[in-house]
Amino acid sequence: MHIGPYTLPNQLFVAPMAGVTDRPFRTLCKRLGAGYAVSEMVTSRPDLRDSLKTSRRANHDGEAAPIAVQIAGTDAQMMAEAARYNIDRGAQIIDINMGCPAKKVCDKWAGSALMQDERLAIDIVQAVVDAAQPHGVPVTLKMRTGWSADAKNAPRIAQLAEQAGVAMLTVHGRTREQKYSGVAEHETTAAIKSQVRIPVVVNGDIDSPQRAVEVLAQTGADAVMIGRAAQGRPWIFREIAHYMKTGTELPPPTATEMQGWMLEHLQEHYALYGEYTGVRSARKHLAWYTQALPCGDVFRRHINRLESTQAQLVAVTRYFDALAADRVPEFEAEACCP
């Protein structure tokens, strides 16, 4: 699997998700089997470049190459400048966001809203490619199947993007209108794969090793991209890799393994966000990690009351020590099943 000059270790990708796929999460996913990960979406607006949120999203300190940065915006020249700006700061691949369905993004005609205006969409793609090409930086595009069920124009945009010089396409199998409801369809991705020569990545509702293999076979895609299924389960990538290699399922991780990964994730998370924000933004990750675990609901209620990073680390350690020993942690004994 190649993106421009970069050879990737496998065909398992982490989807860019705002508020989720920051550097600590991407790094952990890569360590647990993902071959490639794209940053959270960063705005092309120059007045927001120095904001704390943007600086954290653009933080790639110590991250394994290739460094992929996703940019979003509605103005072709501003997007071109954003590409150059991020390349100057270490981006090795630029990804264009044409897939985000969030209202606050689409209301500004960015993200998947661009699919309503094919001319503007391709003008942006061409401007970004032209800005990145002198630096030898490939440009990729992530999009949806279209704006609505009546306007599935992803195949046409895919062909125009290829002509403009895009190196890879990722297709989420829903329209913007669907957001994350219903079931992703991958027939559109299969159609695109049959029409272009560049790599195509399939995305949407890939939540198990079996589903990954099935969707790859169905579409002929070159890679799968996984988003929500990796929240609280970053080891899904090693599970898929094992299944693709052996045809057998990998045993679930032990409580001790999960504890180690979570503590590693938390330490990196706190280092990026600091004490106050780190404690609060870590809560969603802890909730995802423990969603299906014994007494997870009581653990989450306890975690949400904690105000320090040290208290969170102690709680996670105690919880997983108890699971490993097949007993109930003290702080939740009164509310948990025996």
Which residue has tokens 């290829």? Answer: 162
Residue 29's φ and ψ, nearest 5 degrees, are -60, -40
Q: Which of 105, 98, 94, 100 is nearest to 38 (CA)?
A: 94
Reduced to 3 states, what is the DSSP secondary structure of residue 120? helix
How far is it, in rounded angstroms, from Cα 210 to Cα 217? 11
State the catalytic residues.
100
pLDDT at 277: 95
Rounded to the nearest 5°, which phi and psi values hold at 44?
-90, -5
- Residue 312, Cα to own-chain centre: how many angstroms? 25
Within 10 Å of residue 327's Cβ, how many Cβ atoms? 11
pLDDT confidence of residue 117: 86
pLDDT for 116? 84
DSSP conformation class of 82? H
Tell the CATH topology of 255-332.
Answer: 1.10.1200
Angle of helix 118-132 versus helix 154-164 axis, rounded to 10: 30
Three-state SS for 93? strand
Query: Cβ(82)–Cβ(71) under 8 Å?
Result: yes
Global confidence as pTM: 0.90
So where are the chain's domains? 2-246, 255-332
Helices (H), 224-295: 236-246, 255-289
CA 285 to chain centre: 14
Pairing of strands 12-14, 36-43: parallel
CB 309 within 8 A of CB 278: yes
What backbone phi and psi angles, to 5 degrees, belong to 58?
Answer: -95, 10
Return the pLDDT at 333. 44
Q: Rounded distance, CA 131 to CA 111, Å?
A: 20
The 10 Å Cβ neighbour count of residue 50 is 8
Position 332 scores a pLDDT of 47
C-beta of residue 74 within 8 angstroms of C-beta of residue 39? no
pLDDT by 10-residue block (mean), the chain, 338 residues: 94 94 95 95 80 78 91 92 94 88 47 81 96 98 89 94 97 86 92 97 97 98 97 97 96 96 97 95 96 90 94 95 84 45
Paired strand residues for 295: none
**Amino acid identity of 62?**
G
Q: How far is CA 140 from the centre of its chain?
A: 14
State the CATH class of domain 2-246: alpha beta
What pLDDT is recorded for position 281? 96
Q: What confidence score (pLDDT) does residue 334 get?
A: 43
Q: Are 109 and 117 in contact (CB under 8 A)?
A: yes
The 8-class DSSP code of residue 13 comes to E
The rounded Cα 221 to chain-centroid distance in angstroms is: 18
